Every structure is written in C-alpha cells, then in structure tokens.
Chains A and B, each alone.
Chain A
Amino acid sequence: MNLLELRDLHVFLGASHVLQGVSFSVPEGGVTALLGRNGVGKTTTLRSIMGLAPGRGRIELGGKDVVRLPTHRIVHRGIGYVPEDRDIFAGLTVAENLRLAERNGGSRYELVWELFPMLRGHLGQRAGTLSGGEQQMVAIARALLNENRMLLVDEPTKGLAPNLVTEVARVLERAAELTTILLVEQNLSVVRRIAQDAVVLDQGRVVHAGPARELLDDPTLVRRFLGVSGGHA
C-alpha cells in the first residue's frame, strides 16, 4: 500500500519550471531513495511535499490531498522533515531546538537519547556552536521526536566525515523500523545499505522507478541516470 503519491506535480521557482509533471509513489514502511544529479529537483520535490515550494498537481498522503494545505498542517498529518542544510536554530540551545519540535505531548525523548546519547551532554549548548555532525543529529532528532507516518530526509550525510556517514546511516536504518522514509542522498553506498526502492529524477521528471538494488547493481543504469560509475553520485 502506498503512503505517499505524487501525481503530475509541477513547481515553478521564479521563471524556472523546476518540476515538470513529477509522479511517483512511496510504499508504506522502509526507505525510498530519491536520486538524481545536482539540480534536477530532488530538494524541490521534498519542499513541495512540505508545502514550502507550492506546486500544482496532486500530493496524496494516506489517500488525502495535501497540496494546498499550509506547511504546519501538512506536518500535523504526520510528516517530519530533515532539510538539506539542517536548518537548526543556531541561536537556540539544543534543548530549545528539541522543545520547539514537540507536538501534541508524548514526545519520544527516550528514542532520541537511545539514538543520540551524546546530545544529552549538550542540551544547554547553543546549537550553532555544535560540529556539523552534531548539528545533523539535532536535525534528525527533531524529526524523530514525534510519531510521524513519514520522514523526508534531504542529504543527511552531506559534508560529514566517513565515520559520521556510517553513524547517520545506522540511525536512519533504525528510524526506518518505525516510520516510512523518503530519502534524498548522493552517497550511493548509504542508499545501497538502507533503501529498498529508488526513484530517479532528471530535469524535473521521473526517469526511473523500481527496486534500489536493481538500479544500483546495473552500472549502465547508474551511469546513465546518475552520471557516475558507482559509489558516489
């Protein structure tokens, strides 16, 4: 059963027609990777689902169209968002960043401490003074704090050291046991490790959709759609 369905989604950013009729589905459970070269519309797709880049078309979450809802109401339908540049609030403390993300009581701090035990030691620290990896943990923790039906995660390993990439992949694997994830990721080894399905965008259109391994195990497809011979897109 599909949790998220995009149908003929068009998004304009200024004069640019960034998404040109994007259609794909995300099944409930597991990780679906959204892949493609730089600038093909992956981040815009996530932002459009969040209502941050208004689009035309249909975006159905659990069978209900959310395309015209304001962002905060889309979130209350059960979507958590980890943006590309983390977008943590640098002037707030780690505790305040987490407190801001609390919704409807029942926040899952136990899960957050289980996945990111180091954050407990930095609760009073300004988030802007954390390292890049720690900031990414705060960004993911904010999304995991609530019981979401789905997480949209945009390039969580971007700019991280190799050991942190492994750590983030481990966290996402654990998160995928609890919720559905739509993941934008350039690191194909991370995609190979955690994604079951893959959707490839090119110039604002879907050019491939299917099992992730089928795509990644075929060097011709990887070269054609992602412009690399393997490893990193």
Chain B
Amino acid sequence: MLLTITGLGLGAMYFLIASGLSLIYGLMGVLNFAHGSFITVGAYATWRVQKELGGLDPLVLRFLLASLCGLAVGALFAALVELVLIRPLYQRHIEQVLVTVGLGLAVTALTSAIWTPTQQLFEVPGWLKETTTVLGARIPNDRWVEIAAALVVLGGLLAFLRFTRYGLIVRAGVENRAMVTALGIDVRRAFTLVFTIGGIAAALAGVLSGVYFGSIDPLQGTRLLIFAFIVVVIGGLGSLGGSAVAAVAVGLLQQYANYYASPGVGDLAVMLLLAVVLLVRPSGLAGLAPARAAG
C-alpha cells in the first residue's frame, strides 16, 4: 500500500510536469527542454519567499502564501520565455531546441551560483510530515496532497479544454494550427496561455517535489524533467489523458522495481517500458500527430 501510494505521489509530480510539456508540444510543436527550469524557478521562489516571511505564523499560512508566490513566479517566467525566446523562433525547431536547452542549463547554473549547488531544506507544515494509517500502512500525508493536486490539475485542464473558447482553440490547434489561424484566430495568444499554464503546473511540481524530498537543489528540475519527457512519449505527444495514464504507470513501476529488485533498478525499468512502448506503439498510448504548422 505504501509503495503504491508513494508511486502514485511520484506519478502525480511527473504528470504535473508532463501535462504542460504535452500541451506545448501538441499545440506548438515545441520540445521545451527549459521546462525543468520552470520547476526550479517555482521551487526556489517558494523557498525564498518562505524565508522572507519567516516571522509569519502559523507555518501553514506561510507555506501557502509562499507556494502561491512560487506558482505566480513560475507562470510569469514561463510566459516571458514564450514571448521573448520562443515566439521569434516559430517553425525553427533546431534553434528552439538550442535555446531551451541553453536556458535550462543557464537557470541551473544561475541557481547554483546564487544559492550554492547544495540542497536547501524545504520547510513544510507539520501535518504534511505526519502519516495516516490505511490498511495497516503508514502513508506520509504529503503523498495524498500530491495525488490530490495532480487530480485537481487534470480536472482543471480537462475542463479548460472542454468548456472554454481558449480550450477549444488549443484542441483545434493541436489538430491543425494553420487552419485555426485561417479562421481569424491569433493562435499566438493560445501559445502564451499554454506556456503559462505549463509554467504553473511545473512550478506546482517544484513546490511538491520540495515537500516530497524535503529539500530542493538546482538539478532537481532537470532530474524530474527526464522522467516527465518519458511520460509524455509513453502517453503520446499532445495527449493529456495519455500523460496521466503514463505518469501513473511510470511512478508505480519505478517504486515497485526499486523495492522488489534493488534501488536504482526503477530507472532501468522505466527505460525498458519506454523502449517497449516505442516498439509496439511508436506514437505512444494515445499519440497524436503534431499540429500542422502555420505557414
């Protein structure tokens, strides 16, 4: 039971990162290697604000306020990345890869330079460190929060896609971006919005990874990003539902393999799963072709 819930908690974090990656690729055809920097920026912004609010009690209020600031900074950072770095490079995929890889490295280096490469303790409310006994297993409470956060984000994103005009534009844009513009819609606004949503979800993953691991460090975003990319590929590029299923599968597999085989085998098992899915179903579990380019 503990293994399963812990695997689901890990999968929840992977999903939070993968959801933005998947939407960004599906709509814009951009493989955003800088997505890990959104995690780092969100986590460090939360940690810094929490330190600044040191005198504010209770801790839960301080944590919530700091987390909200972290999400806002993550959203702003992601929007700026889209507007300043990605927008001038539409349809120039090699340059996009170079810029996003470079940004990811730069944010890691900058974070290390400012706050040292060592781990920083992430202060969380006491309740999150406590456990709840379910079927005889003592489950850390933060796992429930991680799972609940991922479910809320999944539900929110599905509702956004299903019931809002921008959601309609994103769904249509994933199918055929050029035709969306040919209907008189400025699809670039949807691009910025999707990047911003991805930034919020990644920043939330950054906060929750701090809770999950008890600390943050400059490379945490990059480590999580690798598995989020695997989740996106297994789930199918552009499919939110596929990413959710794949995130659960990867999180559980990692935990079970690490426990029943030996620590470290989990990563290998995930790679094997990726290889099998790519061989059997190259477009992933629910893969879509990338959007047809405008122009």
| Residue positions of A touching B, CB distance < 8 A | 50-54, 70-72, 75-76, 81, 83, 87, 89-92, 96, 99-101, 103, 142, 146
Contacts and interface: CB of A to CB of B under 8 A. Distances in A.
B183 interface: yes
B176 A87 contact: yes
Contacts, number: 62
B181 A72 contact: yes
Interface string B278-295: 000000000000000011
Interface in B67-111: none
B176 A52 contact: no
Nearest to A139: B179
What's the interface size class on B, roughly?
Answer: 10 to 19
B182 A81 contact: yes
Given A92-B168, A92-B171, A99-B168, A72 B185 contact: yes
Contacts of A100: 168-169, 172, 180, 183, 185
Contacts of A91: 171, 175
A76 B186 CA distance: 10
A113 B8 CA distance: 49
B185 A52 contact: no
A52 B295 contact: yes
Nearest to A145: B183
Interface of B: 165, 168-169, 171-172, 175-176, 178-187, 294-295
Nearest to A90: B175
Given A87-B179, A89-B175, A103 B184 contact: yes
Main secondary structure of the interface of A (DSSP, over half): loop
Nearest to B182: A81
Contacts of B187: 72
A76 B185 CA distance: 9
B292 to A, nearest CB: 9
Contacts of A142: 183
A71 B168 contact: no
Nearest to A86: B179
Given A52-B295, A53-B295, A99-B168, A72 B179 contact: no
Given A52-B294, A53-B295, A71 B172 contact: no
Contacts of A51: 295
A70 to B, nearest CB: 7
A89 B186 contact: no
Contacts of B295: 51-54, 71
Contacts of B172: 89, 92, 96, 100
A52 B178 contact: yes
15 contacts: A51-B295, A52-B182, A52-B295, A70-B181, A72-B181, A72-B184, A75-B181, A75-B183, A87-B182, A89-B172, A89-B175, A89-B176, A92-B172, A96-B171, A100-B169
A53 B185 CA distance: 17
A91 B179 CA distance: 14
Contacts of A76: 184
B179 A83 contact: yes
Looking at A50, A72, A96, A103, the one whose CB has the most chain B CB atoms below 10 A away is A72
